[in-house]
Amino acid sequence: MRSYLHVAISAVASGIALVIVPAFEVPAGYRAHYGLTGALLAVFCTALSSISFLSCPRHPAWPKLLTLIIALPAYFFGVSATLTYALYGLRR
């Protein structure tokens, strides 16, 4: 039962990454990027999903796999927001 708590934590982190992080995108044509707040929030969601995945027990395997699948959007937004902020946001 404890492993499903990790699935829920990962789902909350991915929900934050999917709903709230895109609100901090700075539209600048082809150089659209995330602001510092969006990048930090995306990194926080990625860290929360990673901790949830790593602390989830291996047996049974379904909750661990489900935690990984649910955490993928948070990983994507974490990497995307950090890289676009580093490439375009630091120059401002």
What is the extent of the structural domain holding 7? Answer: 2-89
pLDDT in tens, 42-75: 999 999 999 999 999 988 899 999 999 999 999 9
- The confidence score (pLDDT) of residue 81 equals 95
Q: For residues 54 and 84, give the distance between their C-alpha atoms in angstroms, rounded to a whole number.
A: 27
pLDDT in tens, 21-36: 999 999 988 889 999 9
Q: Which residues contact 89 (CB under 8 A, 6 or more apart)?
A: 26, 33, 34, 35, 36, 39
- The confidence score (pLDDT) of residue 90 equals 85
pTM: predicted TM-score of the whole model, two decimal places: 0.90
Q: Look at the chain and report how many structural domains it folds into.
A: 1
